[in-house]
Every structure is written in structure tokens, then in C-alpha cells.
Amino acid sequence: IIVAQNAIGGSSNIGAFSVLAGQVGVAGHLKIGPKSIIAAKSGVITDLDGENQYMGFPAIPAQEAKRQIVATKNLPNLSKRVTKIEKIIKDHNSPTNN
């Protein structure tokens, strides 16, 4: 199934029973295995194994992409925590503490 506004490069091979959701781009000369599901707005730039779900740019397995999205949303808090920990370590190791 190829939904809407997809672009498929020349001589790319889309496996049987695969789904390309809206606005998926597939570079040329690639193989997408059978029963693959490519989420909307994904970009495929490498061959993909069949019977899996992919998303993002570059398209990666959906579970990994979801983990990356969650991690990205947590980056500001993680950055603050690291800064606090670095300050504690610096203060602990300062010459005035010895």
C-alpha cells in the first residue's frame, strides 16, 4: 500500500505487502523487504529488512526511533543534572575542601 505524496527513487524494490504511509521518501536502488511498514514522513536511505516497522530520517526500526524521541525530550533535564553533578565534583575536589 502506498498512501499519499510518496517519492520512490529509480529501481528501488518495495517488497510485497509493504506499507508506505504519507510523505515517505525512498532513495534510489534500495530494497525494502516484504511486510515492512514505513511511518509517515520517513526517509529511507538504506536497504531495510522485511517484517518490521520503521520511522524517522534516516528510517530506523520504530522501537529505536521512539526511544530516541523520548531521550531527546529528556535532554534539557539531563543537561541540568549533569551540570549540577559537575559542580558538586568540582566543589568537592577544590583545594579549599582539602
In which band, very low, low, confident or very high, does the pLDDT at 97 lie, cut at 50, 70 and 90?
low
Fold entry, domain 7-97: UDP N-Acetylglucosamine Acyltransferase; domain 1 (2.160.10)
**Residue 31 has what pLDDT?**
98
**Residue 98 has what pLDDT?**
57
> Is this structure's pTM higher than 0.85?
no
For the chain, give the mean pLDDT. Answer: 96
**Residue 96 has what pLDDT?**
76
pLDDT digits 0-9 by tens, 16-62: 999 999 999 999 999 999 999 999 999 999 999 999 999 999 999 99
* Phi, psi dihedrals of residue 84, rounded to the nearest 5°: -65, -45
Spatial separation of the C-alpha atoms in residues 48 and 45, rounded to whole Å:
9
Q: Where are the chain's structural domains? A: 7-97
Which whole-number Å values give the CA distances from 57 to 36, 60, 62, 83, in the listed order?
16, 7, 11, 30
